[in-house]
Structure 1
Amino acid sequence: MRYSICSWTFANTPLKKVFEMVSSAGYEYIDVQALVDEYNWTEVNRLAEESSLKISGLLGDSGWPDEKHDLANKSKSNRDKAVEYFKRQIECVKVVGGDYLIVVPSAVGKFFTMGNTKTDDWNWAIESVRNIADTAKEYDITLIIEPINRYESCIVNNSDDALNFVKDINHPNVKTLLDTYHMNIEEDDLEEAFLKLKDWVEVVHMADSNRKGIGRGHIDFEKIVTGMKKIGFDKTIVVECTAPGPNPFQPNKGKDTAEIMQTFAQESLVNLKKWFN
C-alpha cells in the first residue's frame, strides 16, 4: 500500500515546506495540484526528492468559475480549451514521475448543470475525457475519475455515477477513485461502494465526515476498510483532509493551516498503518 497526502490541503504553504512537513510526518509519497503554469515541474520533482518523497500523481486543476478548465462546459470552445489544458497536466505528471491525474468531469465548484438535462453535461464530459484518454495512454498515465458530492460538482457524485462514467468511456487508461468524505454524503452503503467498483478503483482519498483527519469525525471506517480488503485493494491511499473552517473550495483556513494539517497528517497515517500494515 502506498500512503500519500495532497499538497493542496496545505493551502499557500510553499511546496518545499510542505514536502518537508509531509516527510517528517512519515509519508513517502505526495500528490501535488496540477497548477501547470505556477511551477517548474522539474524543480518540483527535485524538491520532492530532496525530502525523500515520490510524487504519486497530480490533482487535476479544474476549479470553477474558470470555464476554460471545465471539461463539461456548454461551450465547445471552452471544452476544447479544457481538453488542451488537461493534456498539459498529463505532461506534468510525466515530468514528475507520477502514475495518474485525478479528473473531475465537471469543474469543482460547479454544482449546477448547463444543458437542458444532466445527460447533455454528461455527454460533453464523456467526449472531453475521451479526447484526453489517448494522450494519457501515450504517456502511460492513468486518468482517475473522482466522484464528488452534489454540493461541489454536478455530474459524477457517487459510485454508481463513477461506474457508469468509466464504462461509457471504456478506455484502459481511465479508472476511478472513492473519497470517504464524499462517500459519507452520497453513498447508501460505504462497504458496498467498494465492491461495486472493485475492478475500477485505483486510488482512495481519505478524510473524515467533517473533512478533518481520520478519526476526528463520525465515519465508520471499519466498513471502509472491510470493503477495501474484500476487493484486495493494495494501491494508493491519499489523505485529503483539510483544516476546519468555511469554504470547501479554499484550503486556507488561517495562519495555523499548515500546522493543523501536519497534525492531521500524522494522526491519519497512524490509523492507516494500524488498519493495513
Structure 2
Amino acid sequence: MALNKTAEHGYRTIEFAYLRPEKFNLDRLAKLAQSLDVEIGVTMGLPLDKDVSSEDISVVSAGKQTLADAIRAVRDIGGNKLGGILYSAHTKYNRQPTKKGWDNSVAAIAATGEIATQANVDLVLEIVNRFETNLLNTTAQGLKFIAETGSEHVRLHLDTFHMNIEEANPAAAIRLAGDKIGYFHIGESNRGYLGDGVINFDLIFDALLDIDYKRDIVFESFSTTVVDEGLSLACAIWRDTWEDNDPLAAHAKRYIELKYDEAKRRRATNARP
C-alpha cells in the first residue's frame, strides 16, 4: 500500500524503518519497488543494548552485528541507503558521551562502512537533537566524526527538524557540510504539515542549491495515528499531528517542489547583471 501510494504521488524514493524486518517479505518488496520505479532507503536507531558508543565491548559487538544485519537487509530489499542514528542508541541519555565511547563508535561505523561499500549501500549518519542522542547533535560534530572514520563512503544525513533545534544557522550548516551530505530529511518544526511551523524553508533550499545537492530529499512527519508505537515513543510523539497521510503526502510533494522552484528563481534573479 505505502509503495503504491508513494508512486501515485510522484515520489521516487520511499523510506522504511528497520523495526521488525522479520515481518517483511524482502524479495516481494524489492520486486514491487522495482516495478514502480521507486528507490528504497532504510533508517534505524540502535537500542541501548546494542549501543556502539558504549564502553562495554560486548554491547558494541552486538551493535556492530545489528548494523551488519541491517546492511544486508537493505541490500536484499533492493535498497540503496541505510541512515538514522547508527552511531549510538536512539534515546535520551542521562550522561555525557565519553572519549572511549566516541572512539568505539567511530571504529564501529568505519567497519560498517566497509560492509556497506561491498553491499553497494550508502551509509548516512543522521544528526539528531539532544533528546535523541548525546553524540552527534550538530553538522560540525558529524563532519569530525566521519573524518575520523577515514571512510569516503560514510556521509551525513541532515534533517531540518533536528537542525532547527541544534544549529545556530541551519543554512550555514548545510553549506559547511557540502558534498558530505548523503541524505536529507525535510520536516517541519512541529512534525506536521510543511509550512505550519517556524522553519524558514527558503533559506534551506537556497543552501541546497548553493552546494548543488542532487541526492534524495525525503519528507518526514510523525503522528501517533500511523507511526509504529516503539518509534513514536522514541521520538516523543504524544499527539496526532494529522490523521490521514494521503493529503499530507500530496501537500508535501507540492510544497517541496514549490520551494525548490522559488529558490531557483531567486538564484536566477540574483545572477542578473
TM-score bucket (shorter structure): 0.7 to 0.9
User: Are the equivalent residues in 1 in contact too, given 2:52–2:104 (CA < 8 A)?
Assistant: yes
User: Are the equivalent residues in 2 in contact too, given 1:179–1:204 (CA < 8 A)?
Assistant: yes
Shift of 1:250: 6.4
Aligned residue number for residue 132 of structure 1: 112
User: Are the equivalent residues in 2 in contact too, given 1:178–1:203 (CA < 8 A)?
Assistant: yes
Shift of 1:243: 2.3
Q: Which is richer in helix? A: 2
Percentage of identical aligned residues: 22
State TM-score, norm by structure 2: 0.84
Distance 2:198 2:140 in 1: 23
Encode CA deviations 1:73-92: one digit per residue, 9 max, x unaligned. Answer: 23211111111111111111
Q: Which has the larger radius of gyration?
A: 2
- Give the alignment of 1:214-253 within 5 angstroms: 214-243=194-223, 247=233, 249=235
Aligned residue number for residue 180 of structure 2: 200
Encode CA deviations 1:147-195: one digit per residue, 9 max, x unaligned. Answer: 1100111100111111111111120210112100000000001210011
State TM-score, norm by structure 1: 0.83
Distance 2:18 2:135 in 1: 21
- Determine whether 1:88 maps to 2:74: no
Distance 2:160 2:117 in 1: 28
Shift of 1:122: 1.3
Structure possessing the higher relative contact order (Cα contacts under 8 Å, 6 or more residues apart)? 1
- The match for 2:171 among 191, 198, 212 is 191
Shift of 1:247: 4.2
- Determine whether 1:209 maps to 2:193: no
Gap regions ≥5 residues in structure 2: 226-231, 262-273
**Bigger mean CA offset, 18-27 vs 153-162:** 18-27
Distance 1:242 1:53 in 2: 25
Distance 2:23 2:103 in 1: 31
- The match for 2:130 among 150, 164, 184 is 150
- The match for 2:55 among 62, 65, 74 is 74
- The match for 1:56 among 19, 24, 40 is 40
Q: Helix, strand or coil: the match of 2:16?
A: strand
User: Are the equivalent residues in 2 in contact too, given 1:55–1:96 (CA < 8 A)?
Assistant: no
Shift of 1:251: 6.1
User: Are the equivalent residues in 1 in contact too, given 2:7–2:38 (CA < 8 A)?
Assistant: no
Aligned residue number for residue 93 of structure 2: 111
- The match for 2:12 among 24, 28, 32 is 28
Aligned residue number for residue 44 of structure 1: 29
Q: Helix, strand or coil: the match of 2:190?
A: coil
Shift of 1:18: 2.1
Distance 1:154 1:38 in 2: 31
Tell me: CA distance 1:261–1:141, structure 2 relative to 1, closer, same or farther (3 Å).
same
Aligned letter for 2:245? M
Count how many residue pairs are aligned between Structure 1 and Structure 2.
Answer: 253
Aligned residue number for residue 14 of structure 1: none
Shift of 1:132: 1.2
Gap regions ≥5 residues in structure 1: 1-16
Distance 2:31 2:23 in 1: 16
Encode CA deviations 1:2-28: one digit per residue, 9 max, x unaligned. Answer: xxxxxxxxxxxxxxx222333333322
